[in-house]
Amino acid sequence: MAKQIPTPGRQRLFGRRKGHELTPRRQALVDEVLPTIRPEIDEDGRLDLKGPVAGKDQLWLEIGFGGGEHLAWQAKHNRDVTVIGAEPFINGVASLLAHVEDEQLDNVRILDDDVRPLLEALPDASLERIMVLFPDPWPKTRHKRRRIVNPLTVERFAVLLADGGELRLATDIMDYARWMMTAVWPHPDLVWTARRPGDWQDRPDDWPGTRYEAKAGKAGRTPVYLTFKRRNR
């Protein structure tokens, strides 16, 4: 059995799994295309990424991709990279599948579930980039342990990142920004790349905005963009 990340209490970290009913096209994508690109983890924790990652130079992971617009953009603009996305909300998964079909993206893999078993199954130093953009804020004190960015997952991110690999985090909730920094800053292998305020106040050019971010902007909240590099082993 794959070892589980010991998140306190084996908490469920995500909210709803399903929203409105899927259109027939999106339902068909979920039924027919998703099984062909969904990573499988067997009982011994072995991972099958479904298809050729060989030939692709890098493996990236986006956790909680929402509607998948950011992930699809990254896959489209980085054809030599395989981008894995994990997202338990099936309407978001269906939205990304529509991008995959419309834009003929053969370099996307989708886990329609909690990312944590995948974090366990991926080999050490296998990821060049991990992205966690606008994770669920869980603002109430008693819910904060549900935050996906926490010292245990950060420890795993550091193991999974290849030398020089990048951890990208974003949030519009200042309490979560402080929480992220508290979780990542002390890690000896992860180095914050910011040199001046613009480095965390401005979204980098190769980092398109997300749907959640647009909503946060309309609500008058200002995001932060945090990039960390993994030190060489």
**Measured distance CA(111)–CA(127) in Å, rounded:** 16
In the structure encoding, which two tokens stand for residue 54, read together?
């060989």
Candidate residues 61, 75, 115, 224; the one interacting with ligand SAM per rule CB under 6 A: 115
- 117 phi and psi angles, rounded to 5 deg: -60, -30
H or E stretch covering 71: helix 69-77
**Measured distance CA(175)–CA(58) in Å, rounded:** 33
Q: Give whichever of 72 and 86 is closer to ligand SAM, judged by the CB atom.
A: 86
**57: annotated active-site residue:** no
Residue with tokens 């305020």: 197
Q: Is 196 helix (H, G, I), strand (E, B) or coil?
A: coil
**Residues numbered 164-223 forming contacts with ligand SAM, rule: CB under 6 A:** 210-213
- 106, 113, 136, 175: the catalytic one is 136
How many positions of this chain bind ligand SAM (CB under 6 A)?
Answer: 24
Candidate residues 29, 34, 84, 86; the one interacting with ligand SAM per rule CB under 6 A: 86
Examine residue 105 and tell whether it contacts ligand SAM (CB under 6 A). no
Binding site for ligand SAM (CB under 6 A): 13-15, 63-66, 86-89, 92, 114-116, 133-136, 148, 210-213
Active site residues: 136
